[in-house]
């Protein structure tokens, strides 16, 4: 049952997103096109599609996975029964 609109991501996925963002930032400054960055540096290592790369570039990695503002962790257990 989905409680809020926030999608939780795993730690491995967030690390991969951070790596893809770092590679993209490194080579985007040199003037390579997005497709060339994906073809030369991202696809051979991670094997993701170009569309998946664009989705990863939109994700803010600095937001922690266990966000305390999310009500979801509080709704998993009912401790009032004691």
Per-residue tokens: 71: 């009500």
**Torsion-angle region of 32 (φ positive above 0: left; ψ -120 to 50: alpha; else: beta):** beta
pLDDT at 42: 96
Q: Let me know how long the chain is.
A: 82
Q: Is residue 8 a contact partner of residue 80, using CB atoms and an 8 Å limit?
A: no
Q: What is the mean pLDDT of each run of 10 residues along the chain (82 residues)?
A: 60 91 94 95 96 93 59 57 56
Q: For Cα atoms 42, 35, 17, give the angle at the middle one, nearest 5 degrees.
A: 35
- Indicate whether this model's pTM tops 0.85: no
pLDDT at 28: 94
Domain locations in the chain?
11-61
């Amino acid at each position: 049952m989905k409680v809020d609109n926030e999608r939780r991501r795993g730690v491995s996925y967030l690390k991969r997103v951070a790596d893809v963002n770092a590679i993209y930032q490194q080579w985007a400054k040199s003037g390579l096109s997005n497709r060339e960055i994906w073809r030369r540096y991202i696809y051979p290592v991670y094997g993701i599609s170009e569309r998946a790369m664009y989705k990863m570039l939109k994700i803010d990695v600095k937001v922690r996975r266990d966000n305390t503002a999310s009500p979801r962790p509080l709704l998993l257990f009912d401790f009032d029964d004691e």
